[in-house]
Homo-oligomer: A and B are copies of this chain.
Amino acid sequence: MASHHSVDAGIAWIDGATRCLNEEDVPVRAARGRALTKDIRAAGPIPGMDRAARDGFAVQASASWGASSYNPVRLPLIAVTAGEALPAGMDAVVPLELAEPDGRGSIEVVDAVTAGANVERQGAVAASGATLSTAGTRLGAQHIGLLTDAAVSVVQVVRRPHVCILVVKPVKSGGWEDSNGPMICAAVERDGGVVGACVAVGRERTALASALAEAGADIVLLIGGTGPGTDDQSAAAVTAAGELALHGIALCPGETTGLGRIVSGSPVVLLPGAPAACLWSYELFGGRAIRRLGGRNAELPYRSREMATARKIVSALGMTEICPVRNGRGDTVEPLPSFAETGLVAAVSADGFVIVPEGSEGYPQGARVSVYLYDKR
């Protein structure tokens, strides 16, 4: 492991090594959360014809002129419900409360309507050729509704990234139960990836190199064996199986993160085996790569907000540090014991976290900081 690279250098490497995957066809109904690869335009006007905007009776507006409660006008009874096409020749809808059926196929209208009244005109929602959804959009319920309504049944979306997770066995693996694999699987799924495999591998260089060489995936996450010890062969295995680009990043927790590629060209992210370091290395590098491959927003998938510090936040100069925080009085946050001290407990106790960049020693009390917030409910 050479001297530490900056987090920014790691992010730049990830961004250079990943781009949006190719597209696939998916039925609109199954496309929630997927990212469109191209704009979708209306094949015709929406609605395709003039239609009733509310329940009532279709009329020719001019025939209602002069109608009042003193002078009801008798017209043919043509009931229409909201959304229904207006019958030919009709150009307005008289609402239910302004007409009375006479029981003999006619209505008595007690107020005049103008042409177009209570009618949704052809093309009112969207003209033919109008953009219904733009490339890059992640589809939500509203898009699925609109596109189905516009008779679009299949959409082109970015393929979901296939992820191979290799978990390096510890030196003494008797009774060992891996917790990093399940944790990272959950994070990959959150980020839109598909876990193709999550398997344990021996920590010897040859075992690791052949597991890497066989990994048919859009990205490989290799967890553990990333440190400087003689039993730590993950970095050497990446070198043997392709190219190790960066190893050792000034990130706490996550110092032994590594980045590289296997011969197929797929990126490999080396995640440290210590759980909190594994998580943060994933969030900043592995997750970013997966989000980019899948056409999602590359940034951390947490909402962030500017808040004041209720107590000072201390961080080591020269390291980007992830500092867990909890809500204080008012709109403030205060630091919790670090990830280095309490591991994942910090992540589950915290209301959020602050990222202190490597050039900073932290923030004094009362400083305005950008806080990433966990959604705990």
Residues of A within 8 A of B (CB): 28-29, 32, 35, 46, 54-56, 79, 81-85, 96, 124-126, 130, 132-133, 136-138, 140-146, 148-149, 151, 170-172, 177-180, 182-187, 189-190, 227-232, 273-275, 278-279, 282, 296-297, 303, 341-345, 347-348, 374-377
Smallest distance from the beta carbon of A26 to chain B beta carbons, Å? 13
How many copies altogether? 2
Q: Which of B35, B82, B125, B143 contacts A377 (CB 8 A)?
A: B35
Whether B229 lies near A81 (C-beta < 8 A) is: yes
Q: Which residues in B have their C-beta under 8 angstroms from that of A56?
A: 229
Whether A140 lies near B82 (C-beta < 8 A) is: no
Smallest distance from the beta carbon of A287 to chain B beta carbons, Å? 9
Whether A182 lies near B79 (C-beta < 8 A) is: no
Q: Which residues in B have their C-beta under 8 angstroms from that of A275?
A: 145-146, 149
Whether B274 lies near A345 (C-beta < 8 A) is: no
Whether A190 lies near B141 (C-beta < 8 A) is: yes
Whether A171 lies near B345 (C-beta < 8 A) is: no
Whether B190 lies near A146 (C-beta < 8 A) is: no
Whether A136 lies near B377 (C-beta < 8 A) is: yes
Whether B132 lies near A170 (C-beta < 8 A) is: no
Q: Which of B125, B130, B274 contacts A82 (CB 8 A)?
A: B274
Q: Which of B141, B149, B274, B297 contacts A83 (CB 8 A)?
A: B274
Known: A186-B141, A377-B137. A232 touches B303 (CB 8 A): no
Q: Which of B138, B183, B343 contacts A144 (CB 8 A)?
A: B183
What residue of chain B has the Cβ atom nearest to residue A295's Cβ?
B377
> What's the Cα separation between A296 and B377 when bound, in Å?
6
> What's the Cα separation between A243 and B43 when bound, in Å?
43
Q: Which residues in B have their C-beta under 8 angstroms from that of A138?
A: 375-377
Q: Which residues in B have their C-beta under 8 angstroms from that of A297?
A: 375, 377
What residue of chain B has the Cβ atom nearest to residue A183's Cβ?
B145
25 contacts between A and B (CB under 8 A): A28-B182, A32-B189, A35-B377, A54-B227, A79-B230, A81-B170, A82-B273, A82-B274, A124-B341, A124-B342, A126-B345, A132-B345, A136-B376, A140-B190, A140-B374, A141-B183, A141-B184, A141-B190, A141-B282, A144-B186, A145-B182, A145-B344, A146-B275, A148-B179, A149-B179
Smallest distance from the beta carbon of A81 to chain B beta carbons, Å? 5
Whether A348 lies near B229 (C-beta < 8 A) is: no
